[in-house]
A and B are shown apart, each in its own frame.
Chain A
């Protein structure tokens, strides 16, 4: 496998309503920014891997018509859609394409524009994705009360709230710790000019004042629905060395799926055999990616993590599943400030998905933000410590599909 690196990163400002641009214009903004960052032109790009979450944004299959807006004329285009993990799969698709030798330079482009549908992520989003799975049960006499209260409880928040409850039961973490994680995300986001929910000096007490949505989640815990796009420029070794002073090298990558553990769609309300906080897919992906990267002890060798955490409990769960902390202990380290931007292992210093969630783009942003930290280009939210290895995580599918990408400041040996 060839050495591959990320040499340019571009994203758009994220907000709940980018009404000044269409989907295509929004995506083009990210592509221009990434090419400018890499000091390249579209002529030097061989192919494009793109995607947004299927069924979102109120615009059908934008990849079919926005190609020319991202400079794809006479270039190869691949669309990937894997639910919430889409961005991670798009990023990995571009990395694989260059590593295989098929492309020398590839763009990974991912986006979401929630505000194009009236009820962001509802009528055209998760409801669209879930309707086929849920409504079939009505044919077998599922009562509407049960449909509302169980199967359709609050879309992704409903899925994650069970996961949070299981995790809290296992680990002893409390709702106050979730307040701390969300406050940290808002504070970090305030330093990231592209982030959505920015709240300088946000404290856990501020989050604790918000209304309970479904215990243990408060309104302040939940991610926004953002409009935004992101793009990375991926290049093979020679070009990377020539074009970029400090590329972010690909060290390891993996994506594992697990048994569907919630909304088991073949049954009506069966939720699988396993605890939704178990996340075997994340454990397996991390294991595989670390072995490819030559990382033996992630606790010592990983310097920074960008975790896909639309809900604060997930930052804690996944940081453990990725081997950064022992099981059930992440909240203790978070409490001590070890995951702060100044801490021993900064986690989601960009504010993460909890502060910015343009779903299709979210997992690509984790790769992008990790790359920025390695390249030293993160600006105000640059972690003060030297970042040698960073891990980027994506979560999606039907809560069971994971992407893990390990980036480093030197090529893989």
Chain B
């Protein structure tokens, strides 16, 4: 009656490549604008004439009042943490993402504790999800003042904004 009765250790595997660059359908010109502004250490947001809110990264339409958000605003590189998470120390072989081990591929370091945070840059109303760098995980708190950490070489790419770090050490 049924057709999948055999227990297999895993689904059949096929070798191949995944063209992640093919995900273009949502790639907005806005994101490009945001990325290129990072080259000049500028963080762009969009202003809503309906509710007066500034959203970072910019978007076309306000989520709440459905007004077009045509005006771009540069927000401060200083901000405050609105939420944070501390990961357990990263371990090799613990998990895989997109089929790769982050430690093996050198993306993350063994024993590193990651602190993803929400940051509200001054002059904006949105939470930006990024990494808190150069900080003691035990001393992080909501409301902590932070500033942007810029890449050594600025390329006009999202990687230019490496994350944020505490303002006072």
**Partner-B contacts on A (CB < 8 A):** 19, 21-22, 25, 58, 116-118, 127, 131-133, 135-146, 148-153, 158, 161-162, 165-166, 169, 211-215, 259-260, 262, 264-273, 275-276
Contacts and interface: CB of A to CB of B under 8 A. Distances in A.
B118 A271 contact: yes
A269 B157 contact: no
Contacts, number: 161
Contacts of A138: 20-21
A131 to B, nearest CB: 7
Contacts of B87: 149, 153, 214
Contact of B59 (A116, A162, A270): A270
Given A141-B35, A141-B156, A211-B88, 18 more contacts: A22-B4, A131-B20, A133-B26, A139-B23, A140-B31, A144-B102, A144-B107, A146-B163, A148-B97, A165-B84, A165-B142, A212-B88, A213-B88, A215-B86, A266-B31, A267-B57, A273-B125, A275-B82
Contact of B116 (A135, A150, A212, A265): A150
B27 A141 contact: no
A139 B29 CA distance: 12
Given A162-B83, A212-B88, A260-B63, A146 B56 contact: no
B83 A166 contact: yes
B55 interface: yes
The 5 tightest CB contacts between A and B, nearest first, are A141-B157, A259-B63, A267-B57, A269-B129, A143-B159
Contacts of A165: 83-85, 142
Contacts of A259: 63-64
A136 B97 contact: no
B108 A25 contact: no
Interface residues of B, number: 62
B59 to A, nearest CB: 5
A273 B55 CA distance: 7
B85 A161 contact: yes
Contact of A25 (B2, B56, B128, B156): B2
Contacts of A212: 88
B157 A140 contact: yes
Nearest to A215: B86
Nearest to B160: A141
B7 interface: yes
A215 B84 CA distance: 9
A255 B105 CA distance: 44
Contacts of B128: 269-271
A216 B157 CA distance: 33
